[in-house]
Structure 1
């Protein structure tokens, strides 16, 4: 577990460096002037911080299940989700670096969406859709079909929370590149929800 976690963190750090180069070119166009930087409490900054946190858990869950099953379809799905979300997380953190804004939220998660007054997350679940610490520990103890089903159930819930947040950015964010990324997240995660629902049905389970 420790080796896998360290690998994931290292990969994300590498992506942040690469993402930083990308963001210099595409994430400076803010509004009409092309030179403004989002404020610390803006939707752009809030989405970058919160979605980076949300994505990190998806990466963690995906590497957990990849080691708990031999089913190639689930392993490919988990790998694709982990790689995609680690990449996107690197872009989001790279933008925060570019804007010279803190990566750790100073206020409640999702306050930029008007949800700052939602009850504190249960057992480590910081935002809607996120798994609890207990759920993650249980996933890490399951094997085979049981691990596949639980992963799919947790990831469908996780994606629904991610789609909701990404739609919030589409409505509120002003940086063009970030809005385009959020739209892409909505499309890809809705497609994956449909796929995972079918995989659950094939295993005799429901979301």
Structure 2
């Protein structure tokens, strides 16, 4: 079994452990996740579902680049992204379990929950998929396509580092937009706090990634 496979298994185990921890903590009164039960169509449930998918791809990309480069800075960043987002994903999946809500919605588009803000309806990222064209595995703004992932998987050394950093900056920007939507629309304080933490942390990581790109003579991409 390859290192990537073992890493992927580790991420799944971490996610499950944190899902269980989040469920137990909430059930024990450690937060407000059980103080109200959001509906399946709520922003709380939509954010938890969609960001879990978004996070899983960041974990996947991070494990890919860890196998494609020996650069300590990029490998350390990739580890931090994978570890943090796997843990957060576990928390969000745990909340969905706690609320007895499905982890996959078959009757709504990704990010449809963001259209609940009437003032933003039909504008930017707050309307459904935010004008994002769903194609080639890219379900939400910021998500890499299958072609992007294939290219990353074939690259090595400096080129793999550049590909990863460029893709992850785009990915973080999409995630920040979603998290800001939750901060505005979610009703569960614990979830809103997590979303604000995502915004702050990912903005900081973007600054670091831009700096790492400049060190490699490259620039961030917008798409």
Aligning the two structures, in what range does the TM-score lie when normalised by the shorter sequence? over 0.9
Which residue in 1 is equivalent to 2:109? 108
Q: Residue 73 of structure 1: CA displacement?
A: 0.6
Candidates 110, 126, 144, aligned match of 1:131 = 144
Identify unmatched segments of 5+ residues in structure 2: 116-126
Q: Residue 156 of structure 1: CA displacement?
A: 0.1
Which residue in 1 is equivalent to 2:123? none
Q: Residue 16 of structure 1: CA displacement?
A: 1.6
Is the CA contact (8 Å cut-off) linking 2:114 and 2:128 kept in structure 1? yes
RMSD after superposition:
1.4
Output the CA distance in 2 between the equivalents of 1:13 and 1:148.
29
Question: Where do 1:9-28 residues align within 5 Å?
Answer: 9-24=12-27, 25-28=30-33
Output the CA distance in 1 between the equivalents of 2:6 and 2:147.
21
Which residue in 2 is equivalent to 1:142? 155
Q: Residue 120 of structure 1: CA displacement?
A: 4.5
Identify unmatched segments of 5+ residues in structure 1: 30-34
Is the CA contact (8 Å cut-off) linking 2:152 and 2:164 kept in structure 1? yes
Is the CA contact (8 Å cut-off) linking 1:23 and 1:91 kept in structure 2? no
Candidates 177, 182, 195, aligned match of 1:169 = 182
Is the CA contact (8 Å cut-off) linking 1:52 and 1:93 kept in structure 2? yes
Q: Residue 21 of structure 1: CA displacement?
A: 1.8
Q: Residue 12 of structure 1: CA displacement?
A: 1.8
Per-residue Cα deviation, 1:108-132 (whole angstroms, up to 9, x for no partner): 0000012226454120000000000
Q: Residue 26 of structure 1: CA displacement?
A: 1.1
TM-score normalized with structure 1 length:
0.93
Output the CA distance in 1 between the equivalents of 2:61 and 2:85.
12
Which residue in 2 is equivalent to 1:6? 9
Alignment length, in residue pairs? Answer: 202
Output the CA distance in 1 between the equivalents of 2:66 and 2:53.
21
